Amino acid sequence: MDERDLRELVRAVLAEAAGRAAGSDRTAATSATVSTTATTPPTVPRATREAGDPLAARVAAWIGRPVELPRPAGTFRPEGDWTFYRTTTPARLGVGRAGTRLRTETLLEFLADHAAARDAVWSSVEPGLLAGLGLTPLRSTAADRREFLLRPDLGRKLDPASVERVRREGTRGARVQVVVCDGLSAAALRANLPTFLPALVAELTRLGVAPATMFFVEHGRMAVGDEVGRLVEAEVLCTIVGERPGLRTAESLGTYVTYLKAPEIHEARRSMISNIHAGGLPPAEGARQVAALCLRALRERRTGVDSGA
């Protein structure tokens, strides 16, 4: 596109904008003539719009077929202001400015949250916590935290000593095998595991599928649980991992339920529940949902996209 083409494009855009403005003026004048007491009509949620909705018509013309616009979330309020939306999420909305810069309070909160996220990545789990929860410790092939972060592949494999320990102490043919990994947030385990894990064990036991010997993998990625599950020939694997921390969620757990008897195991064949923490899905409720997923996996003999979960 040369300079002349660019000028023509700018002229066309300006002409179109001017036409829209003129149309708006004419509409406003007509409305004033009809009624001097006219008020702005209320905003209608998309779920209640008719098929003749201009937006739906534009989308249909664009993709070449009729469309049904999605129903808005329950918290969607077109007329809502920042005050309303800030009560529904911890995200940074409507933080405002001080001149051209962020306000000091906003900047300090951002730096504090970023520091918490960094601390979570480099944190570790105390041995006393593992013993108190009945977790047998293992290690991945990553020598330390730095190597774990730089070499994700090493966090997906057990070291030789851990392989032997699983063979020696694991429960062969377990129906549900629980594996806990520190992942990218050991802080998530410290904050949530004392509530989540006992609740999960109690719920699985109540459902008649009490878990076998449970393991903890230091410097472990989510996929390291697959090796543990294969070594003990488990039917269903439940992997609990500290999730990558965000600026508002440095202590979030994620859980993956995998049916290990499938012909092939890949990411699409895992059922996942994430965001388990005090500010998200409460740990006790998360444990109940994860136990239900394990039972469903045993009953249907499938997980992930195969089961629609």
Which pLDDT does position 198 carry in this prediction?
96
Give mean pLDDT, residues 117-136: 92
- CA angle in degrees (0–180, nearest 5) for 302-305-309: 80
Cα–Cα distances (Å) from 230 to 206, 224, 226, 236, 258, in that order, read 25, 10, 6, 10, 12
Predicted TM-score (pTM) of this structure: 0.72
Distance, CA of 224 to CA of 259 (rounded, Å): 15
Cβ neighbours of residue 3 closer than 8 Å, sequence gap 6 or more: none
Give the pLDDT confidence score for residue 34 in this predicted structure: 43
Report how far residue 84's alpha carbon sits from residue 298's, in angstroms, rounded to the nearest whole number: 43
Is pLDDT above 90 for 66?
Answer: no
Cα–Cα distance between 63 and 67 in angstroms, integer?
9
Q: Flag the least confident range among 122-131, 172-181, 232-241, 280-289.
A: 122-131
- pLDDT above 50 for 222: yes
Nearest CA among 126, 283, 302 for reference residue 218: 126
- Residues in Cβ contact with 169 at an 8 Å cutoff, skipping those fewer than 6 apart: 136, 213
Maximum pairwise Cα distance, the chain: 88
pLDDT recorded at residue 70: 67
Q: What is the mean pLDDT of residues 89-101?
A: 83
Whether residue 124 contacts residue 145, with contact meaning beta carbons closer than 8 Å, is answered with: yes
Residue 64 tokens read as 């070449």
* pLDDT at position 254: 97
Residue 219: which pLDDT band, with cuts at 50, 70 and 90? very high
Is the pLDDT at 53 greater than 70? The verdict is no
Q: What is the mean pLDDT of the chain?
A: 84
| Tens-digit pLDDT profile for residues 253-288 | 999 999 999 888 888 999 999 999 998 999 999 999
Q: Is the pLDDT of residue 195 over 50?
A: yes
Locate 84 and state its tokens.
Answer: 């309303």
90 pLDDT band (50/70/90 cuts)?
confident
Predicted pLDDT at 151: 96
Which alpha helices (H) appear in 184-282, and where do they start and end? 186-206, 224-231
Percent of the chain surpassing pLDDT 90: 56
pLDDT at position 63 over 70? yes
Q: pLDDT value at position 39? A: 40
All structural domains of the chain, each given as residue ranges with its CATH number in brackets, are 121-306 (3.40.50.11240)
pLDDT in tens, 10-43: 677 767 766 665 555 555 455 444 444 444 434 4
